[in-house]
Amino acid sequence: MSILIDEKTNVLVQGVTGRDGSFHARQMVQDGTRVVAGVTPGKSGQKLDEIPVYGTVSEARKDHRIDATVIFVPARFAAAAVREAADADIPLIITITEGVPVLEMLQAYHYVRSRGLRMIGPNCPGLVSPGKCKIGIMPYHIHKPGNIGVISRSGTLTYEVVYNLTNTGLGQSTCIGIGGDPVIGTSFIDALELFQADPDTAGVVVIGEIGGDEEEKAAEFVRTRMNKAVVGFISGRTAPPGKRMGHAGAIISGGTGTPEAKVQAFESAGIPVARKPDEIPALMKAKLQAGEPR
């Protein structure tokens, strides 16, 4: 089983004729995703290969059942694209775009939630349910169907962890890149709740990083609400305080968001923390073989 997406998911691509949108739309189709339509304002009636292009999301919605949309539009238009998708009641809105102004995304976040919809991102790689569906930019060939969920704030670390899981025989149910910005649509806890409810996910890898307190909140959720094996990793453990490291949310400020606090929170919740990504599979196998919930 998987969470959020499967082989029946119909996908819309916003920004489908742009450089990134067209490249990744083709990759998603090649990887087996059901991309049913694309949107670029002013280009209604065109096609990208066999993908029909519409001028607005609402036009595409009239002709197709759309379960999810993925947004590749430039940062200055991304929040408006999110709101357009929400106005069309698309259940799952995945925003790949990075550099979106925080205030604009905060407003878009609340708008999406007010309509009972879900957003993933921005500044994220998307998600993959191996053997079923890929939405976003993750390299599909490194994934393998299985029962390990992956949640990550980092795109490239997701790929490294998935590669190591696959090479050691641990396939994945769904891998989610939630994004590294200060305001994101789906949190660690949101994703953990979904994996906890999925009967075919046996364990979850949580890939965190410095900055904020989302990892500490996730650790408390795991401690009190989960009965599945969870393994953690915290990136940026050598980052100097006060210096942003790659992601807009990855900054230690005022003594909060430190790697030490995150590691301590994980370990206090019974979550073993790998020092290197390639240690994760062994830690997960040990948890699963021991039958430990945490």
Report the catalytic residues: 247
- In angstroms, what CA-CA distances link 235 with 9, 169, 247, 253? 32, 24, 11, 16
Tokens of 271: 């979550």
Q: Which residues pair with 152 in a beta bridge?
A: 177, 207
**Residue (of 240, 237, 232) closest to 207 by Cα position:** 232
**Residue (of 253, 275, 273) closest to 264 by Cα position:** 273
Q: Is 37 exposed, middle or buried (0-12, 13-18, 19+ CB in 10 A)?
A: buried
Q: Which residues pair with 92 in a beta bridge?
A: 68, 118
d(CA 213, CA 179): 14
Rounded to the nearest 5 degrees, what angle is found at the Cα of 210, between the Cα atoms of 208 and 211? Answer: 110
Q: In the chain, which residue ranges form alpha helices assigned H by DSSP? A: 19-30, 57-63, 75-87, 102-114, 155-167, 188-197, 214-225, 259-268, 280-290
| Residues 70 and 12 sit within 8 Å (Cβ to Cβ) | yes
d(CA 39, CA 52): 8
